[in-house]
Amino acid sequence: MILNPLILLSAQAYVFVAIFKVQMENYSLYLVSGLLPWMFFSQTLEMTSSAYVNQGSLLRAFNLKPMTITLSQVIDNALNSLIAIFLVFSIHFIIFHKSLEFELSILSRFTLGFIPWILTVITVSFIVGVLHVSYRDTKFVASFFLQVGFYLTPILYPSNYVPTQMAWLLKLNPIYVLIRPMQVRSENLPTLIWLEEYLLAWGLFIVIALISWVIWKKEQNNFYAKI
Amino acid sequence: MQKFEPEIKISDLTLTFNAQYFYPSTWRDRFVNLYRPPSVLSQPENILKNINLNFKNRERVGLLGLNGAGKTSLCRCIAGTYKPTQGSVEVRGQIQSIADVSIGLFPELTGRENIKILSELLHPDKESKDFEDEICSFSGLRKYLDLPYKHYSNGMKARLALSAISSHPSDILILDEVFDGADMGFRAKIGKRVHQMIDNSGIVLFVSHNPRQVLEVCNRAIVIFDSEVILDGTPEEAVAEYESLCRANEN
């Protein structure tokens, strides 16, 4: 769970820098800081979206709260992601001799940005799992939107590659809003700009949480009967 | 053992399922059904109708009925797994509900690890370490406890599961057809332990298709037929009614 993304990231960094010639300061760090959280989200969603249906007998037999299953998977995946990112940042620091101040700055921004991200992953995984109990193709619908979202979100490419007339669309992309505070960009990114992005991410998480709460309230009464 | 007296009050309980609970839908179906009239399958199905029951401390209540009568659904409503469509279920006391002995057991883990997990699932409010060793010892599986559960015979699986589920009494104990599968020698051993667990529990709801077990264990019995309670009386009366239902059903 740690080596897999690290090897994949190395290959992607090589392809995009050496072959596609992406021109961006700290591109490898930018790639890692966007791709690792994305992989954490997509793997968690993949594992948990049908978990309540698969573990239905366990949930019913012991009257377990469904969030128990989601949380156990999220925490496991999150730990692996955080270890991987820490390893990458450490290796980058050793090889490229960037200033300690820069490294601490990106590490702290990534860690802070990871908080609303992991909360959103928990919430989205939970509600997709709940909806999958009522509508058994939810997992596949979610997977489809995930694939589309991956290409529409500047993870593999810098956000300034998006044409200016389409740039406003990025603000409507929830994944972009949530992943932005974690992404490593310029060494001189002003704190105020980062803070604005960070507060936006928290605001979006609260909206997602509220929508999920409304859906759960509607589904919870007959959740165990439908599993 | 209890600081208060456990109690269950069931008032006008009705449980109704729509056909969608039996036939899970998809987003595609939801879209298509906008343009299609509802079929007869979408009519609601009564699982339990107008149930009114009270259970008090020290009652050992047998639940008898044909397959599909509603016994398990009633137990699930009491345990809080199903929410009533109408009416209410008020419960005072901690509930321990045991339905399927194979659930909560993981094939790749060892017997010992499965006992640990099962103890935590069955008794989340208690320190499982306190009785894990006792369960391991009682099961009689000894060296096999460190083998993966998937390699156990059916009898060994039953020993492990029954040792775990009979380890601790509860305020309210619901036993849903759990005591099958063990070999005769172990059944004698487990019988005494189960009786002890039942004696030390507050209220016991005992679902069984074995009238002899109900007569042995219970001091009250209920017969459920076609989603309704048709008899609430002594175990002898309930067994007689149940046996006549079985004969009528065979014909």
What ipTM was assigned to the predicted interfaces of this complex?
0.72
**Residue B69 or B186, more confident:** B69
Rounded to the nearest integer, the mean pLDDT of chain A is: 87
pLDDT at B244 over 80: yes
Q: Residue B226: inside a domain, yes or no?
A: yes
B162 in any annotated domain: yes
Cα–Cα distance, A185 to B96 (Å, whole number): 54
Which of A52, A64, A128, A135 is the mutation pick for testing B, counting most B CBs within 10 A?
Answer: A135
Chain A residues 41-80 with CB within 8 Å of chain B: 57-58, 60-64
- Looking at per-residue pLDDT, the higher value among B179 and B1 belongs to B179
* Residues A177 and A200: beta-carbon distance below 8 Å: yes
Asked if B81 and B27 sit in the same domain, the reply is: yes
pLDDT value at position B1? Answer: 46
Per-residue pLDDT reduced to its tens digit, A131-173:
999 889 999 999 999 999 999 999 988 888 888 888 888 888 9
Residue B203 lies in a domain: no
- Does B27 contact chain A (CB < 8 Å)? yes
- What does the block give as tokens for A84? 């991987």
Confidence of residue B225 (pLDDT cuts 50, 70, 90): very high
Q: Are residues B64 and B21 in the same domain?
A: yes
Number of structural domains found in chain B: 2
Percent of chain A's residues with pLDDT above 70: 98
The parent domain of residue B234 ranges over 7-94+209-250
State the CB neighbour count (10 A cutoff) for residue A5: 21
Return the structure tokens found at A181: 């505070």
Residue B244 sits in a domain whose CATH number is 3.40.50.300
Interface of B with A in 112-151 (CB under 8 A): 121-122
**Are residues B90 and B106 located together in one domain of the fold?**
no
Q: Would an 8 Å CB–CB cutoff place B100 in contact with chain A?
A: yes
Q: Is residue B236 part of a domain?
A: yes
Q: Which of B145, B168, B191 is the last residue of a domain?
A: B168
- How many other β-carbons are positioned within 10 Å of the β-carbon of residue B117? 15
Question: Both B90 and B213 in a single domain?
Answer: yes
CA distance A148 to A23: 24
How far apart (Å, rounded) are the C-alpha atoms in residues A151 and A38? 11
pLDDT value at residue B94: 86
Amino acid B213: pLDDT: 85
Distances (CA, A) of B226 to B48, B50, B51, B70, B238: 8, 12, 12, 7, 15
Nearest in space to A6 (alpha carbons), one of A65, A81, A108 = A81
For A186-222, the pLDDT digits (tens) are 777 788 999 999 999 999 999 999 999 999 998 887 7
Look at A45-54, B26-35, B191-200 and tell me which has the smallest mean pLDDT. B26-35
Q: Which of B168, B186, B201 is the last residue of a domain?
A: B168
**Residues sharing a CB contact under 8 Å with residue A76, sequence separation 6 or more, in sequence order:** none
